[in-house]
């Protein structure tokens, strides 16, 4: 998967994060309380001065009640067709995993499709608080191996396996193999954040 310049993408993510926060009439302090991320770090991300990790973006998006893909699309939708060359690709600076937002933006659908390539040996832990904002998702492993940790439970996936889960707590992704793992994630927000969060 190819990705655009990381500095450009950091700036775009920061701009979108700020716009989404302001659209919800949240201050930096409000988002800090909801996400567990410091006000100073949120400010750095919004200015494009920081390359946020997957774990950090997960916390910020849970605090805003949005899917991570909202940070990679501009406000205006692209219509019902999303050619591969136009699909936003982001690399997690901590683990090196690549995340491609496959679904077209602005269609009104709450369903999202994401393609992920996890390097050999890489591990990602997402542990954002999700009170009132849970993700209903299915992970379909296309190539390689993947171990998913949900609380005290681990599930090993091999090519062709699909795991459905309601993500309302910490989850870990680990590629124990010697080659990259490639998988598709199909997800939707399980609850309307605006109705369930004060």
SS (H, E, C) the chain: CCCCCHHHHHHHHHHHHHHHHHHCCCCHHHHHHHHCCCHHHHHHHHCCCCCCCHHHHHHHHHHHCCCHHHHCCCCCCCCCCCCHHHCCEEECCCCCCEEEECCCCCCCCCCEEEEEEECCCCEEEECCCCCCCCEEEEEEEEECCEEEEECCEEEEECCCCEEEEEECCCEEEECCCCCCEEEEEEEEECCCHHHHCC
- State both tokens at 27: 């201050």
pLDDT of residue 170: 87
Residues 6 or more apart whose CB falls under 8 angstroms from that of 165 comprise: 136, 137, 138, 139, 148, 150, 171
Residue where one domain finishes, among candidates 28, 44, 71: 71
pLDDT of residue 190: 59
pLDDT of residue 192: 44
pLDDT of residue 196: 34
In this structure, the number of other CB atoms found within 10 A of the CB of residue 17 comes to: 23
Residue where one domain finishes, among candidates 40, 71, 102: 71
- On whether both 98 and 179 belong to a single domain, the answer is yes
Domain count, the chain: 2
State the CATH number of the domain containing residue 64.
1.10.260.40
Domain with 55 in it = 6-71
State the CATH number of the domain containing residue 158.
2.60.120.10
- On whether both 120 and 49 belong to a single domain, the answer is no
- On whether both 41 and 89 belong to a single domain, the answer is no
pLDDT of residue 32: 97
Q: Is residue 78 part of a domain?
A: no
pLDDT in tens, the chain (198 residues): 444 456 688 899 999 999 999 999 999 999 999 999 999 999 999 999 999 999 999 999 989 988 888 888 765 566 899 999 988 899 999 999 999 999 998 788 888 999 999 999 999 999 887 766 678 899 999 999 999 998 889 999 999 999 999 887 789 999 999 999 999 999 986 544 433 333
- On whether both 98 and 182 belong to a single domain, the answer is yes
- On whether both 67 and 90 belong to a single domain, the answer is no
- On whether both 13 and 38 belong to a single domain, the answer is yes
- On whether both 98 and 47 belong to a single domain, the answer is no
Q: Say what the pTM is.
A: 0.86
Residue where one domain finishes, among candidates 16, 41, 71: 71
- On whether both 17 and 91 belong to a single domain, the answer is no
Q: Is residue 1 part of a domain?
A: no
- On whether both 16 and 100 belong to a single domain, the answer is no
pLDDT of residue 197: 35
Q: Is residue 77 part of a domain?
A: no
């Amino acid at each position: 998967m190819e990705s655009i310049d990381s500095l450009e993408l950091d700036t775009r993510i920061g701009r979108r994060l700020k716009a989404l926060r302001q659209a919800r009439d949240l201050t930096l302090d409000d988002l800090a309380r909801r996400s567990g991320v410091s006000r100073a770090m949120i400010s750095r991300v919004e200015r494009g001065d920081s390359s946020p990790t997957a774990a950090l973006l997960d916390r910020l998006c849970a605090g805003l009640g949005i899917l991570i893909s909202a940070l990679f699309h501009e406000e205006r939708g692209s219509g019902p067709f999303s050619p591969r060359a136009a699909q936003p690709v982001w690399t997690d600076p901590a683990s090196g995993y690549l995340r491609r937002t496959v679904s077209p933006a602005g269609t009104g659908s709450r369903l999202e499709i994401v393609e992920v390539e996890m390097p050999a040996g890489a591990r990602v832990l997402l542990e954002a608080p999700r009170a009132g904002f849970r993700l209903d998702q299915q992970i379909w492993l296309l190539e390689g191996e993947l171990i998913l940790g949900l609380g005290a439970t681990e599930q090993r996936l091999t090519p062709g396996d699909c795991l459905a889960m309601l993500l309302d707590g910490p989850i870990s992704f680990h590629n124990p193999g010697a080659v990259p793992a490639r998988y598709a994630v199909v997800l939707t927000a399980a609850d309307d954040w605006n109705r369930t969060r004060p």
